[in-house]
Amino acid sequence: MRHIPTPRPRITLTLSLFPFSLLPRSYEPNTLDINSDEDELRWWLDILRQQIPTVVEKACASEGGGEAARRRAAAFGRCARKWARTRPEQTAAG
């Protein structure tokens, strides 16, 4: 199989923040403390919990998919699922 190079768009690097943003002047950097808002915390934890299977699959594939990679990915998945279950009850894991 022969590799056929594909054309890549030229991007001019700039020192401006978010050069591809539609409204860069309206950007207001801020942070969110999800521990101060129970609904926000649960929303983010649900998002992270939903991603665990995808992350486990990609972690295994990135290491070649062998037996050792599957074992490490499965261990990560178990740990991440346990964390996702116990995080809302911060004292549950000790």
Tokens of 56: 């486990």
pLDDT in tens, 57-88: 888 888 888 899 888 888 888 888 787 776 55
Residue 80 included in any domain: yes
pLDDT in tens, 11-32: 776 666 666 677 767 777 777 7
Tokens of 5: 């190079």
Residue 82 included in any domain: yes
Cβ burial of 20 (10 Å; 0-12, 13-18, 19+) is exposed
Q: How many structural domains is the chain composed of?
A: 1
Rounded Cα gap, residues 85 and 77, in angstroms = 12
Residue 70 included in any domain: yes
Q: What is the structure's pLDDT at 53?
A: 87
Residue 90 included in any domain: yes
Residue 30 included in any domain: no
pTM above 0.85, yes or no: no
Q: What is the structure's pLDDT at 20?
A: 65
Residue 91 included in any domain: yes
Domain around 70: 64-94
Average pLDDT, the chain: 76
